[in-house]
Structure 1
Amino acid sequence: MKPRTSFGQKTLGRGYFTSKDIFDMERERIFRTGWLLVGHVSQLDVPGRFFVFDLDHESVIVLRDEDGAIRAFHNHCRHRGSRLCAAGEGNLGRSIRCPYHAWNYGLDGRLRSAPSMADVAGFDAADWPLHTVVVETWLGFVFISLAREPQPFAHVLANLTGRFAHRDTSVLRAVHREVYLVAANWKLVFHNFSECYHCPGVHPQLNRLTPFRNTENDLDEGAVLGGPMWMNNPEGSMTMGGERCAAPLPGISSEERGRVYYYTVFPSAFISFHPDYVLLHRAEALAIDCTRVTCEWYFHPDAIATPGFDPQPAIAFWDLTNRQDWTLCENTQRGVASLTWQPGPYSELESQLAAFDREYRRVMALDAASGD
């Protein structure tokens, strides 16, 4: 599919990568209102299992309840506001107990008991459940929104909800997690992921497996952007040696087995569908010039159980590629901070960056010419 042209469009202006006012505006208009990819259902394999997602002063417990449903709650007690879960993940058992005054909540968020409150006039435990957070899942990936009344998930991420149903990624399991701190603005990290213009000179290993022009974009407008790159070896994968670490994932076609599908999910993730595994990058904007990227490698349980299974070639390949990319992002952050830098023109190989910027301006409600 021919991508929408980037002709005449320039990159975002300096302030979008350096201004605290713009960063604060992003918090309000994007991160506290939009849908954020925060994890995978495999982290919640049994009732009581949980993980915590933090954004500034907000902390969210994501858990599986006793009926098997995925729920999310603000991580504070309704009594005096104490944080309920200090650990980043674990197993709550059958309830959530406040460490301060032992108020006890069910996994459904209802207040079950509150010591010494029975004699308080008018107190009714039913009036004091945990504050809920809206949660959705798509193919096993968990999304939340901190907005009280967010836009419908199916509307905002329509390009996701109607696609890839034949890929049952909900059954996959992460075999490795790598966390990186990148000294660059989150948008530069998205920009870097969205083009392979830089690949021949920076990623010789990657460019050998998927030459930079072996690409087409089947999603080129909106909150989900990207498309496939086809590999020189249709029986291979993206690994240090170019061979697969496992059998092809169930349900994918012979054509899909020779391609890697790369998508950005605004504003928090990149999902890469390989023939034998799925790679997830979650990007969290910690500061104007600091982004935490959590990278996870997901394989099918049957592959993991196969004698001799070794995911290291895939892990090493993307760890190398990631580190090469973070150097580029950090160099760019230093460059755009210069008072003399001016936005440059996008090439046709950067049409996805131009599309990202259009979506960014739309969500931020900005005029197309603003910010230079």
Structure 2
Amino acid sequence: MQARTSFGQHTLGREYFVSDEIWNAEHEKIFYRSWMLAGHVSQLEQPGSYFLFELGSESVIVLRDQEGELCAFHNHCRHRGSKLCREAQGTLGKTIQCPYHAWTFGLDGALRAVPTMSEVPGFDAADYPLHSAALTNWEGFLFVNLSRDPQPFADALPGLAGRFRQWRTAELRAAVRREYEVDANWKLIFHNFSECYHCPLAHPHLNKLTPFRNSENDLDEGPVLGGPMWMNNRDGSMTMGGERCAPTLPGVTDSERGKVYYYSLFPSGFLSFHPDYVMMHRALPLSKDRTRVVCEWLFHPDSIAAPGFDPAPAVEFWDLTNRQDWDLCANAHRGVVSLAWEPGPYSELESQLAAFDRQYRRALGEEVIASRRAG
């Protein structure tokens, strides 16, 4: 498929990386309204298991209740606002108790026990359940939306519809997790992921396994962008030695075994589908100039349980590649915040960056930029 051209398009201007107004607008119009990649269903195997999804001032408890249902609640008590869960993940009992005044909530969010409040005339515990947050389970990947009136998931990320079922990702389990903090704006992380123009120079090992022109974009407009790259060794994978570190995933077809599929999910992360494993990157903006990236390597549980299983070749390969990329992103950030910076032209190998920028501008609203320039 021929990618949409980037002819005549330029990179984002300096204001998109330094403006407090734009940073605040990104939260209001993008992060707090979008379906954000929060984790994987394997993190919630047992009733009572939970993890926190945190972004800016917001904290959400994502949990599996006693009936096995997945749900999400804002992480604050309905009494005085105290955070209920402080640890990033863990296992709850049958209830969640506030550490301040012992208000106690069921895992369904209902207020169950309230010390001394029976003395307050007209108080009804039914009026004070936890505030729920929108949660969607797509093929085992969990997405949270902080909006009170979220856009339907299928409408927000239509590029995911009907895709990737053959990887049976809901069955996979994370073998390794790595966290990175990158001294760069979150948009530069997306830009870096979305092109291999830099691969011959920055990633010689990666470029040897998948030459930078061995690519095709089958999604080139909208919130989901990307496509496959062909490996030189169709029986290999993206590892330090170029060979698979686990058996081919059960549902992957013969025509798919020699490819790696890379997709960005606006505005929260990336999914990479390999023959033998799947990678999930989540990008969490910490400030205008700092981004946390959480990376997990997901394998089939049978592979993980097999004697001699060793994910290190895949982990070491992508840890090396990630660190090379984060250095590039941090170095680019130091340039785009310069007072002398002027947007440069995109090459034909950067059509996905131009598509990301179009999606970003649509989501942000051009009136924000126009009002700032007019002022």
Q: TM-score range by the shorter chain?
A: over 0.9
Counterpart in the other structure of 1:313: 313
Counterpart in the other structure of 1:85: 85
Superposition misfits of 4+ residues, deviation over 2 angstroms: 367-372
1:3 positional shift: 0.5
Counterpart in the other structure of 2:4: 4
The correspondence of residues 203-242 of structure 1 with structure 2, limited to 5 A, is 203-242=203-242
Aligned residues: 372
The correspondence of residues 191-270 of structure 1 with structure 2, limited to 5 A, is 191-270=191-270
Assess if the C-alpha contact under 8 Å between 1:185 and 1:288 holds in 2: yes
Counterpart in the other structure of 1:26: 26
Counterpart in the other structure of 1:51: 51
Distance in 2 (alpha carbons) for counterparts of 1:200 and 1:282: 25
Deviations 1:131-169 (A, max 9, x none): 000100101010011100011111011111321222210
Assess if the C-alpha contact under 8 Å between 2:22 and 2:368 holds in 1: no
One-letter code aligned to 1:196: C
Deviations 1:52-73 (A, max 9, x none): 1112221110000112111000
Assess if the C-alpha contact under 8 Å between 1:138 and 1:161 holds in 2: no
The correspondence of residues 1-372 of structure 1 with structure 2, limited to 5 A, is 1-366=1-366
Give secondary structure in 1 for the equivalent of 2:302.
Answer: helix
1:20 positional shift: 1.5
1:116 positional shift: 1.4
Give secondary structure in 1 for the equivalent of 2:196.
Answer: coil
One-letter code aligned to 1:284: L
Change in 2 beyond 3 A, CA 1:369/1:351: farther
Assess if the C-alpha contact under 8 Å between 1:281 and 1:296 holds in 2: yes
Give secondary structure in 1 for the equivalent of 2:166.
Answer: coil
One-letter code aligned to 1:170: A
Give secondary structure in 2 for the equivalent of 1:174.
Answer: strand
Distance in 2 (alpha carbons) for counterparts of 1:303 and 1:56: 37
Deviations 1:61-95 (A, max 9, x none): 00001121110001011111111001010001211
Assess if the C-alpha contact under 8 Å between 1:361 and 1:368 holds in 2: no
Give secondary structure in 1 for the equivalent of 2:260.
Answer: strand
Distance in 2 (alpha carbons) for counterparts of 1:368 and 1:9: 20
Distance in 1 (alpha carbons) for counterparts of 2:264 and 2:87: 29
One-letter code aligned to 1:85: C
Give secondary structure in 2 for the equivalent of 1:303.
Answer: helix
Assess if the C-alpha contact under 8 Å between 1:361 and 1:367 holds in 2: no
The alignment's TM-score, normalised by the length of structure 1, stands at 0.98
Deviations 1:273-299 (A, max 9, x none): 000000111000110000000011110
Change in 2 beyond 3 A, CA 1:248/1:83: same
Distance in 1 (alpha carbons) for counterparts of 2:167 and 2:64: 23
Moved more, 158-167 or 257-266: 158-167
Deviations 1:179-221 (A, max 9, x none): 1110000000000000000000110110000000000000001
Assess if the C-alpha contact under 8 Å between 1:8 and 1:346 holds in 2: yes
Give secondary structure in 2 for the equivalent of 1:271.
Answer: strand
1:369 positional shift: 9.2
Give secondary structure in 2 for the equivalent of 1:317.
Answer: helix
One-letter code aligned to 1:164: F
Distance in 2 (alpha carbons) for counterparts of 1:43 and 1:260: 25
One-letter code aligned to 2:84: L
Q: CA RMSD of the aligned region, Å?
A: 1.3
The alignment's TM-score, normalised by the length of structure 2, stands at 0.97
Give secondary structure in 2 for the equivalent of 1:135.
Answer: strand
One-letter code aligned to 1:279: M
Gaps in structure 1 of 5+ consecutive residues: none
Give secondary structure in 1 for the equivalent of 2:354.
Answer: helix
Assess if the C-alpha contact under 8 Å between 1:282 and 1:295 holds in 2: yes
Give secondary structure in 2 for the equivalent of 1:166.
Answer: helix
1:104 positional shift: 1.0
One-letter code aligned to 1:140: G
Distance in 2 (alpha carbons) for counterparts of 1:162 and 1:364: 28
Gaps in structure 2 of 5+ consecutive residues: none
Give secondary structure in 2 for the equivalent of 1:191.
Answer: helix
**Fraction of identical pairs, as percent:** 65
Distance in 2 (alpha carbons) for counterparts of 1:358 and 1:121: 55
